[in-house]
Amino acid sequence: MSRPVSHHAFRPLAALLTSGLLLTACTSPDGPGTGPSEADTAGYPRTIENCGHEVTVEAPPERAVSLDQGSTEILLSLGLEDRLAGSATWTDPVMEGLEEAAGEVPRLAENQPSFERVLDTEPDFVSASFVSTLGQGGVATRDQFEELGVPAYVSPSDCAWGKDNDSGGDGSRSEALSLDAVYEEIEDLAHLFDAEDRGDELVAELQDRVDTATEDLDASNTSLMYWFANSESPYLAGCCGAPGAITEETGTQNTFDDTDDEWPQINWETVADRDPDAIVLGDLTRDSQTAESAEDKIAFLEDHPATSNLTAVREERYVLLSGQAMNPSIRTVEGVEQVAEGLRELGLAE
């Protein structure tokens, strides 16, 4: 689910940039951007097709900025922290095992940074998990970055796989997302950064984790509802986003698989009519909407007259996930593991 963003007025670029701002990105004497050697640039430039754009890098990026947590965690998992000049937009603590690597990367903002703040890092590449991050109302458009010579990449999970970002809200999908979208993003970034071997290893590791988590899992008669945030007009997962991929891998049923909207806002009376067997709760650490944490969500469910008598609430059948696991990201694999484990612990799977 896309997160609320801070809107920034863009000052004229001439006032933001001195001549050569971006040209110096690869020649900075300190930190990221010490400049690739001739050997490092063998096989470059490299170009990939991405969301209807061609993304070309002339050399392995040295001063990349990742504008969403999901993208950042992929780059860190590829061992590229020394190539990152900044990260932004965090909804959760960094993925376990990446704490030290994340500590080496300047955090530009907890939410979306201004265009100016990103340009201050002299980036030679930017990446995002959501089209909205690199669109109107986001940090800046892809065109604005690319006009300055900064290649801009967006996760294919948010612009392919039948995703329609113009249908309102968080968009809709005409086809179900699968974990292949996450693997594609890993492979794309690994190729652009000349880290293909690590990319292949990472994809294999993730696939093994999914296979292990779902081995002999039988939960075909179990229905799940996924609640991301907001208690007044809750964002609940539709059929085909990251929760749909988790549902597919665990062999369960999504209570609201009859809507193509990514995160439709559905009233609690409708939830009561569907009465899911278990509820998957986003346990967010941000503070931008109501009922962000799992603790707040559970308290609401147990107190609200429309939800207090739900089977899942009466039986305390809750599975907690990070917000990142409920977005298409490397953490969606973690979501598969945690839902599979939760189903077994709750006695809802054989």
pLDDT per position as a tens digit, 90-119: 989 999 999 999 999 999 999 999 999 999
List, for residues 291-343, the tens digit of each pLDDT value.
Answer: 999 999 999 999 999 999 999 999 999 999 999 999 999 999 999 999 999 99
Q: Which CATH class is domain 217-345?
A: alpha beta
Mean of pLDDT values over 56-85 = 98
Give the pLDDT score at 321. Answer: 96
Mean of pLDDT values over 160-186 = 91
Q: Where are the domains of the chain?
A: 25-208, 217-345
CB 119 within 8 A of CB 13: no
Q: State phi, psi for 279 to the nearest 5 degrees.
A: -120, 125
Give the pLDDT score at 153. Answer: 98
Mean of pLDDT values over 125-133 = 97
With bands split at pLDDT 50, 70 and 90, how would you rate the model's confidence at 42? confident
List, for residues 231-269, the tens digit of each pLDDT value.
Answer: 999 999 999 999 999 999 999 999 999 999 999 999 999
Give the pLDDT score at 5. Answer: 35
> Does residue 273 carry a pLDDT above 90?
yes
CB 339 within 8 A of CB 295: no
Give the pLDDT score at 63. Answer: 98
Give the span between the Cα atoms of 247 and 257, in whole angstroms: 10
Shared fold status for 25-208 and 217-345: yes
The verdict on domain 25-208 having CATH code 3.40.50.300 is no
Give the pLDDT score at 189. Answer: 98
Give the pLDDT score at 40. Answer: 67
Which neighbouring-strand residues pair with 218? none
> Does residue 79 carry a pLDDT above 50?
yes
What residue type is assigned to position 337 of the chain?
A: E
Mean of pLDDT values over 8-12 = 31
Give the pLDDT score at 32. Answer: 58
The residue among 83 and 36 whose pLDDT is bigger is 83
Give the pLDDT score at 19. Answer: 36
Give the pLDDT score at 287. Answer: 81
